[in-house]
Amino acid sequence: MRTLRQERNGLLKVLVGVSISRAIYEALLLASERKRVVTFTHREVLVRVGPNSKPHLLLRDWRRALAGYIEKQVGPYPNAVLSDKEKRSDASIAAQSGGYQVRRSEIKAALESPRVGTHSISL
């Protein structure tokens, strides 16, 4: 099933209801095929996927961006391991925003709820 579609203006759109995992997977296929970075927005987070991006790292950082731990721009090649400074920053922001469990439930709800509209992808 295709999660991205070609528009007349040359841009790609993420179809309504598509999970971030599926969008990353298809963007990775496109990036590999075209040998360049593919960029799309999912839930107001800009995701850049390169031909050799690691999907699990993009997903980890997308979740961190959605939770407000980092800027709303991730990829194409995130660090494999979070530094101690990044871990402390994430913990501090979680504590200030009502704690990890609250943020986790908000992210889970966002992942499970249907989206309205399409999201841009540029090549």
pTM comes to 0.75
Given a cut of 50, whether residue 36 has pLDDT beyond it is yes
What per-residue confidence (pLDDT) applies to 35? 93
Cα–Cα distances in angstroms (integers) from residue 36 to residues 30, 65, 79, 82, 95, in the given order: 8, 23, 19, 25, 38
State the pLDDT confidence band at 24, using cuts at 50, 70 and 90: very high
pLDDT tens column, 61-84:
999 999 899 999 999 999 999 999
Query: Are the CB atoms for 11 and 120 separated by under 8 Å?
Result: yes
State the pLDDT confidence band at 17, using cuts at 50, 70 and 90: confident
Average pLDDT of the chain? 81
Greatest distance between any 2 Cα atoms in the chain: 45
Given a cut of 50, whether residue 47 has pLDDT beyond it is yes
Given a cut of 60, whether residue 114 has pLDDT beyond it is no
State the pLDDT confidence band at 18, using cuts at 50, 70 and 90: confident
